[in-house]
């Protein structure tokens, strides 16, 4: 599962890394990105533009947007088996922009929040799916996304039994490429190389999505 993540780099650096324009309303760095929040993604329909979508997938056929609270993640292994995700995989894939994510490790002292990043500290992209939902009464459109998860790599095994599907940089555009096809897309949803990642404990302040400050990403001990 991936239920919280970070985007701490300056927006301009994010735009440079992904070679995409920033939206005018792009927010400041996020230290505790949480479901139901509006966050930066790149859609397969416009790869040169970073857009802001709400986290929590609401299928176009849903009667209400409440389903989004239950669909923050999609399992890579069953995407084509689930009607909720099958069509989105074929037509609506996205890059979810981040530079770290949180997971809670079970210990004798309770659950300890861990932040997981690349050793380089550079931003990266989760593989995601997106949808557009239309309110039948008002006609208002709501665009949402979900983060795909996969099996854990060696770094994640002691922490959790799932991890977000982080795309290798050279494979990001393949994920967005409509002509690549399901077989190729499936190959991309593998655990990211563990030797390129690091994990460290952080403050339990991150447990509440209302907390948002640089203190959340500081190590809970001196490395």
Given 2, 94, 131, 172, which residue is catalytic?
A: 2
Residues in the chain: 223
**Is 2 annotated in the active site?**
yes
**Is 223 annotated in the active site?**
no
Given 94, 103, 131, 172, which residue is catalytic?
A: 103
The span from the CA of 159 to the CA of 145, in Å, is 25
The span from the CA of 223 to the CA of 217, in Å, is 13
Tally of CB atoms within 10 A around 76: 22
As annotated, the active-site residues are 2, 103
């Amino acid at each position: 599962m991936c239920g919280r993540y970070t985007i701490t780099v300056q927006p301009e650096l994010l735009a440079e890394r992904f070679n995409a324009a920033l939206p005018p309303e792009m927010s400041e760095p996020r230290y505790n990105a949480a479901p139901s929040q509006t966050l930066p993604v790149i859609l397969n329909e416009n790869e040169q533009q970073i857009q802001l979508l709400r986290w929590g997938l609401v299928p176009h056929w849903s009667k209400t947007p409440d389903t989004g609270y239950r669909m923050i993640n999609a399992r890579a292994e069953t995407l084509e088996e689930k009607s909720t995700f099958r069509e989105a995989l074929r037509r609506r894939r996205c890059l979810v922009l981040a530079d770290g994510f949180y997971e809670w490790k079970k210990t004798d002292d309770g659950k300890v929040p861990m932040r997981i990043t690349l050793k380089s500290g550079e931003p990266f992209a989760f593989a995601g799916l997106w949808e557009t939902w239309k309110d039948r009464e008002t006609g208002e459109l709501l665009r949402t996304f979900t983060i795909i998860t996969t099996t854990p790599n060696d770094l994640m095994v002691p922490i959790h039994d799932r991890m977000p599907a982080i795309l290798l940089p050279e494979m990001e555009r393949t994920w967005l490429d409509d002509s690549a096809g399901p077989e190729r897309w499936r190959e991309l949803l593998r655990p990211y190389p563990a030797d390129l990642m690091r994990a460290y404990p952080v403050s339990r302040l991150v447990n509440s999505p209302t907390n948002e400050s640089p203190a959340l990403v500081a190590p809970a001990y001196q490395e």
